[in-house]
């Protein structure tokens, strides 16, 4: 509960320089990149691992693993609470990680980056802090039919508590939001829009910049769930002009248990704390507590120090490759996979939006998705099966579940070929 102690400016400056200076982008060499990921050398059921479950969690490169090990073996201590060498070193690395993430998303200030446990906590933070302060009975919150449960349930909980209403933007059969109907939902009761940047189940990339501009013209703030966008797209929160942006580390080659919430400084400053405890305070008495400025106000207790440093290493790694190069490679994989799966009789592709990230959901005629996933695993191919935490979307599609192959920049056309061969094997089993 003691007041935070800042590290020396020299330590912060040196750590920030190391953490935020990425290597210049190089020509895309997928085999070289694959060598950075030790887990890709595994065999499953006696066959080489083909990892196509990146939308759930991506894999971690050796550079991130090494950074985590270096922290744990040479830098570990609690932060903001002492003036000894290890604490100053850990604090400097932690705050340098914040600067790295600020640059990764192009936030105006580092204090606009709040470290959380992931996208889910980030959205809940906004719902419980900003939402409880600003949502009243009769107000309306706009979501979309494609949202992940993490961007539905917190708003339902808030709406039930406050007497507010959830309004839902529909989509067409391709998985594209109907913008005219989005615009028609706005009225004098609209208080917030919360929308995913990219659908985790279908890969649809939503026109969030246009949606944000429309909302802002009517004085309505917008939260963007960027969990599926951060691994695939170059992010610029200032260009998007969003009010909040959230994503998780484990989907972009970082550790689990870490994510960020970006928020405009003025909004964060006006919001009450989400959790109480140590390090988020300025003074504490039994009569009154005053709170620390942002970002500390929203980071109660000992934060995930190692994970934050690992996430920064992942952001640097991705920056060294170049997000444009990553997007181009993944687009090639998606186009290749779409063409080859569409050519297989009995395969139904779900989600054919014009603008997509590297996610391909499909169903095999007469075969349950769980059986598909189980049999593909026997071929060494890892895909996700189920409702993908998007049950309202599954209902709109008229299915209970799908099989989902999701690609990362370390995947190859050979991985797609293995998926196609695996699907044909599954079909033979059920023939």
Segments making up each domain of the chain, as ranges: 85-319, 323-429
Are 318 and 232 contacting, i.e. CB atoms less than 8 angstroms apart? Answer: no
Write the pLDDT tens digit of every residue in 387-403.
Answer: 999 999 999 999 999 99
Q: Mean pLDDT score of the chain, rounded to an integer? A: 93
Catalytic residue among 321, 389, 394, 401, which?
A: 389
Q: Is 242 a catalytic residue?
A: no
CATH number assigned to the domain covering 323-429: 3.90.1150.10
pLDDT of residue 8: 43
> What angle in degrees, to the nearest 10, is found between the helix axes of 323-342 and 305-321?
80
Strands of 259-263's sheet, edge to edge?
A: 113-116, 259-263, 244-248, 222-225, 190-196, 140-144, 165-169
In DSSP notation, 191-259 reads EEEEEESB-TTT-BBP-HHHHHHHHHTTT--EEEE-TTTTTTS---HHHHT-SEEEEEGGGTTS-SS-E
Write the pLDDT tens digit of every residue in 305-345.
Answer: 999 999 999 999 999 999 999 999 999 999 999 999 999 99
Question: Which CA distances in Å does 20 have to 111, 168, 288, 316, 320?
Answer: 16, 39, 39, 7, 11
Write the pLDDT tens digit of every residue in 112-141.
Answer: 999 999 999 999 999 999 999 999 999 999
Question: Is 85-319 CATH 3.40.640.10?
Answer: yes
Prediction pTM value = 0.92
The token duo for 260 is 């960020």
């Amino acid at each position: 509960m003691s007041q935070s102690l800042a590290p020396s400016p020299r330590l912060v400056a040196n750590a920030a320089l190391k953490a935020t200076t990425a290597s210049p982008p190089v020509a895309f060499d997928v085999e070289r990149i694959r060598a950075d990921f030790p887990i890709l050398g595994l065999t499953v059921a006696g066959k080489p691992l083909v990892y196509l479950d990146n939308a759930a969690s991506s894999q971690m490169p050796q550079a991130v693993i090494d950074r985590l090990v270096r922290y744990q073996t040479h830098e570990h201590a609690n932060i903001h609470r002492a003036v000894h060498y290890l604490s100053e070193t850990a604090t400097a690395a932690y705050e340098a990680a914040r600067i790295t993430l600020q640059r990764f998303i192009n936030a105006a200030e580092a204090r606009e980056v709040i470290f959380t446990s992931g996208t889910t906590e980030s959205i809940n933070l906004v719902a419980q802090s900003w939402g409880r302060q600003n949502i009243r009975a009769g107000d309306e919150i706009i979501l979309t039919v494609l949202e992940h449960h993490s961007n539905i349930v917190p708003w339902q909980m808030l709406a039930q508590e406050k007497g507010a209403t959830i309004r839902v933007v529909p989509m067409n059969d391709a998985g594209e939001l109907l913008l005219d109907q989005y615009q028609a939902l706005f009225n004098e009761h609209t208080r917030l829009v919360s929308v995913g940047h990219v659908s985790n189940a279908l890969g649809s990339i939503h026109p969030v910049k246009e949606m944000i501009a429309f909302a802002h013209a009517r004085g309505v703030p917008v939260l963007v769930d960027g969990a599926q966008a951060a691994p695939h797209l170059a992010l610029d929160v200032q260009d998007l002009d969003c009010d909040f942006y959230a994503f998780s580390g484990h989907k972009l080659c970082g550790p689990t248990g870490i994510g960020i919430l970006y928020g405009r400084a003025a909004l964060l400053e006006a919001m009450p704390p989400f959790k109480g405890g140590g390090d988020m305070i300025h003074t504490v008495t039994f009569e009154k507590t005053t709170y620390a400025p942002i970002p500390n106000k929203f980071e109660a207790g000992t934060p995930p120090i190692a994970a934050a440093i690992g996430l920064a290493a992942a952001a640097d790694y991705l920056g060294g490759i170049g997000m444009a190069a990553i997007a181009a490679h993944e687009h090639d994989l998606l186009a290749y996979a779409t063409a080859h799966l569409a050519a297989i009789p009995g395969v139904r592709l779900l989600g054919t939006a014009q603008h997509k990230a590297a996610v391909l959901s499909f169903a095999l005629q007469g075969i349950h998705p769980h059986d598909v996933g189980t049999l593909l695993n026997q071929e060494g191919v890892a895909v996700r099966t189920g409702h993908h935490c998007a049950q309202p979307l599954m209902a709109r599609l008229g299915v209970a579940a799908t099989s989902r192959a999701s690609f990362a920049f370390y995947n190859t056309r050979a991985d797609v070929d293995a998926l196609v061969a695996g699907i044909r094997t599954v079909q033979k089993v059920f023939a």
